[in-house]
Structure 1
Amino acid sequence: MINLKKGLIISFVMAAGLWSCSDDAEGPLSDIHNPLENPADGPPAGNPDGNSAIPAEAGTEDVSSPDQVVGNGTPESCTCDAFVEAVAEGGKIVFDCGQDPVVIRMDRPAKVFNDASQEVVIDGGGLVTLSGDGKTRILYMNTCDQDQHWTTPHCQNQDHPRLTVQNITFADGNSTAESEYDGGGAIWVRGGRFKIVNCRFFNNVCAGTGPDVGGGAVRVFSQYNNQPVYVVNSTFGGAEGYGNTGSNGGAISSIGVSWTIINSLFTHNTAIGNGGNPAQDNTPGGGSGGAIYNDGNTMTLRVLGSKLEENEVNAYGSAIFFVSNDHSGNIEIHNSTIRNNIGGSWYPVYPSISMHSDTPINVDNSVIE
């Protein structure tokens, strides 16, 4: 194995412009050279050492001809009401909030309507942070939710809507009050296709206990034809004080979903449940997958050009928890670093990765320790 050079994470601390549905505001950020490096407090998007190839379908979507524009050129015009309305209409969504970065505080999640548009692309232009303000989930899509309109008789396996979030930050999402669709502190998705490109996820939380709940930042189910969720050049946590938290899968969680994670950074995420799955006697369950929680049947987890460090668990898989109920899934890790993750047990092959001993795993040009 070849050790990858450890990148330098720089945290910039500046005052961000905060805009909510009530238009409460503070002063905006000053101009920056590359908005993706610092649209608000926190580390940049992506693994600075990541150099894995990005397939065309995993790249950013073209939003040069948007269908919806949130805002009219001023920070005050970029409200959660405007964003919720734009997501309900669907299509390609961009923001016009002025030249300075802004944080839009949400008081409810924006919800995709399944019959509004087959493509839903949300592009923050590197200047927008959507904040759940510690009170609400930020974004929701569910092809099997009747309230969001059914479009096919096979809602669990349909190719649309195809949701992409890109060049945007999700912070302080909180789904702990959700009961029916739990998990996914920032984003909850079922059905269609889902992709994350050039995004950052900071301090999102979901329910803290339970054997099957998880995804402090993101929770996903039922992708079309088991095609993967792409996570490209994105950061979950990235520095102390920015990590995401949930019962399982401190950063991301899924059931029966494949993931391809490219040139991304997962640090300081925590699975805070305890007792595992199934829950041990006299425990609430959970606590597995400090960064990534994969459960279900046939699925593939690909980690390419990515770094998983200083994630933490109470139960199993301080970096990755991967359990295929029918033992048909597999893991691929290339050009990546997985080390210095904390806690857990049950490591039959590699430290910090909990999996069945007969799960195929292919590791190349990576360090796992």
Structure 2
Amino acid sequence: MRLRLFAAVVAFGVAIPALTACGPSVPRADPRAGQPAASGTDPDPASPTAGQDTPGGQTTPPARTGLGGPSPSASASPKPPASPQGVRDTGNPTGRVSVPAAAQAVDTSRPTRTIGNGSPASCTSTAVVRAIAAGGIITFDCGPDPVTIQMAATAKVRNANGPKVVLDGGGKVTLSGQGKRRILYMNTCDPVQGWTTSHCNDQDHPQLTVQNLTFADGDATGQRTDGGGGGAVFVRGGRFKVVNSRFVDNRCDRTGPDLGGAALRVLDQHDDQPVYVVNSTFTGGSCANGGALSSIGVSWVVLNSVLRDNEAVGDGANPARAGTPGGGSGGAIYCDGDRFSLRVAGTVIEGNDAKEGGGAIFFVSNNRTGTLRIENSTLRRNPSHGFETYPGIFYLGSGKPTFASATIR
């Protein structure tokens, strides 16, 4: 019988070790729809491999300024992405959880480079790709009105250019994948982007921040590097955070037992530090798993944000049931691995859907050391059509989750 334990505010709390966030393997789904999955040890599916961590000899683009291009690929946005300050209509307006210094927006008042020269036509896909490759603090000058830049290619971070790469849309810029491609990619273990250390899976750079931006219609379907996923943004290694941003209608492959992240897919973070998601909104995402966020072996801190109407559409869970392609877990968030943590605070997660387990959150720590904490947050109307341990949540971790001033229903 499916657990429906909490109808209103969950006031109890269970002591949980210091948080760290999401990691790699997934539980076996109970084939009987509506029944919680068994809590025994689950086999660990194949995790991404780093390959050989040896220096590459690729040439890196020089730092440049004035990267606006002549061909018009920006247009007036039919759906303004945000207020000019980029903070008033993203995230949860009632979220009041304090944001640590490490999770706050980066000061971009003195940018390294600027995309555009004051007109929408100067803000092109080519200019975005070049600026991201060159690195540094990047802002936009596309005129006074909101614009949508139709990305004709995926922007890729060059690992030697940084160490900081900051992309700030000023609350007026939408990057669109046009339903054809992933929008942004960073991978410290990808030799094409240049190896900069002998330990690519645990290096402290690049440090990528996206803020005051909208990412729309990204699609990573068919991408296979490190397992794929990440319809809008894929990150492996270094550090990553998202501030005051919106992710709308992003996609990745519809099937696969451990593939996920219609908006964000993250593998590895330096020193196991968390990915911060602050004052941001995720809507309309669809993928095999993780309709918004997905990770293996990575911790998350999600603050004052909204995850709404995302879906995990795979079939067969993880490991995949016989005769199925797998997937369908984590309507909003899919976290898998060993020792990691997920903290959700000041956040609304609602209207998400999982064909298998965890309509809101799928959390599996294979060695049962991972921790989940939900505080000052509301999770509601997140159906799990196969299995769950709490309403909208499938959890296997260290002890029980901690719920503090949380509404779970």
Q: What is the TM-score of this pair, normalised by structure 2?
A: 0.80
In our comparison, the structure showing a higher alpha carbon Rg is 2
State how far apart, in whole Å, the 1-side matches of 2:206 and 2:393 are. Answer: 33
Residue 59 of structure 1 aligns with which residue? 104
1:366 maps onto 2:406 in alignment: yes
Identity %: 52
Residue 341 of structure 1 aligns with which residue? 382
1:23 maps onto 2:64 in alignment: no
State how far apart, in whole Å, the 1-side matches of 2:328 and 2:173 are. Answer: 32
State how far apart, in whole Å, the 2-side matches of 1:328 and 1:34 are. Answer: 41
State how far apart, in whole Å, the 1-side matches of 2:230 and 2:113 are. Answer: 25
- Tell me if structure 2 keeps the 8 A contact 1:335–1:365: yes
1:35 maps onto 2:84 in alignment: yes
1:315 maps onto 2:356 in alignment: yes
- Tell me if structure 2 keeps the 8 A contact 1:214–1:247: yes
Q: Could you tell me which of 307, 320, 324 is aligned with 1:279?
A: 320
Residue 395 of structure 2 aligns with which residue? 355
1:89 maps onto 2:134 in alignment: yes
1:187 maps onto 2:236 in alignment: no
Residue 221 of structure 2 aligns with which residue? 176
Residue 46 of structure 1 aligns with which residue? 91
1:33-83 Cα shifts (integer Å, max 9, x gaps):
933579xxxx93101221111001100001111011000110000000000
State how far apart, in whole Å, the 1-side matches of 2:260 and 2:85 are. Answer: 27
Q: Report SS of the residue matched to 1:53.
A: coil
Letter in 2 for 1:251: A
Residue 125 of structure 1 aligns with which residue? 170
1:327 maps onto 2:365 in alignment: no
Q: Report SS of the residue matched to 2:335.
A: strand
Shift of the 206–21 alpha-carbon distance from structure 1 to 2, 3 Å rule, reads: farther
Shift of residue 342 of structure 1?
1.9
1:250 maps onto 2:291 in alignment: yes
Shift of residue 3 of structure 1?
8.3
- Tell me if structure 2 keeps the 8 A contact 1:345–1:354: no
Shift of residue 356 of structure 1?
1.9
Q: Could you tell me which of 130, 146, 150 is aligned with 1:105?
A: 150
Shift of the 332–24 alpha-carbon distance from structure 1 to 2, 3 Å rule, reads: closer
Residue 260 of structure 2 aligns with which residue? 214
Residue 266 of structure 1 aligns with which residue? 307
Shift of residue 107 of structure 1?
1.3
Q: Report SS of the residue matched to 1:184.
A: coil
Residue 134 of structure 1 aligns with which residue? 179
Q: Report SS of the residue matched to 1:88.
A: helix
1:252-294 Cα shifts (integer Å, max 9, x gaps):
1000000000000001000000100000011110000000000
- Tell me if structure 2 keeps the 8 A contact 1:336–1:365: yes
State how far apart, in whole Å, the 2-side matches of 1:234 and 1:149 are. Answer: 31
State how far apart, in whole Å, the 2-side matches of 1:25 and 1:294 are. Answer: 35
Shift of residue 351 of structure 1?
1.1
1:114 maps onto 2:159 in alignment: yes
State how far apart, in whole Å, the 1-side matches of 2:76 and 2:341 are. Answer: 45
Q: Report SS of the residue matched to 2:171.
A: coil
- Tell me if structure 1 keeps the 8 A contact 2:86–2:170: no
Shift of the 82–192 alpha-carbon distance from structure 1 to 2, 3 Å rule, reads: same
Q: What runs of 5+ residues in structure 2 fail to find an aligned partner?
A: 1-7, 12-67
- Tell me if structure 2 keeps the 8 A contact 1:3–1:337: no
Name the structure, 1 or 2, with higher relative contact order (CA <8 Å, separation 6+). 2
- Tell me if structure 1 keeps the 8 A contact 2:82–2:172: no
1:178-211 Cα shifts (integer Å, max 9, x gaps):
1224100000000000000000000000000000
State how far apart, in whole Å, the 2-side matches of 1:86 and 1:67 are. Answer: 10
Q: What is the TM-score of this pair, normalised by structure 1?
A: 0.89
How do residues 63-82 of structure 1 correspond to structure 2 at under 5 angstroms? 63-82=108-127
Shift of residue 212 of structure 1?
1.1
State how far apart, in whole Å, the 2-side matches of 1:190 and 1:73 are. Answer: 33
State how far apart, in whole Å, the 2-side matches of 1:125 and 1:37 are. Answer: 6
Q: Report SS of the residue matched to 2:128.
A: helix
State how far apart, in whole Å, the 2-side matches of 1:203 and 1:21 are. Answer: 29
- Tell me if structure 1 keeps the 8 A contact 2:296–2:335: yes
Shift of the 30–253 alpha-carbon distance from structure 1 to 2, 3 Å rule, reads: closer
Q: Report SS of the residue matched to 1:290.
A: coil
Alignment: residue pair count: 345
How do residues 197-236 of structure 1 correspond to structure 2 at under 5 angstroms? 197-236=243-282
Shift of residue 347 of structure 1?
2.5
1:145 maps onto 2:194 in alignment: no
- Tell me if structure 2 keeps the 8 A contact 1:273–1:288: yes
Shift of residue 23 of structure 1?
2.0
Residue 10 of structure 1 aligns with which residue? none
Q: What runs of 5+ residues in structure 1 fail to find an aligned partner?
A: 5-18, 238-242
- Tell me if structure 2 keeps the 8 A contact 1:236–1:265: yes
1:328-349 Cα shifts (integer Å, max 9, x gaps):
000011100001112334323x
Q: Report SS of the residue matched to 2:244.
A: strand
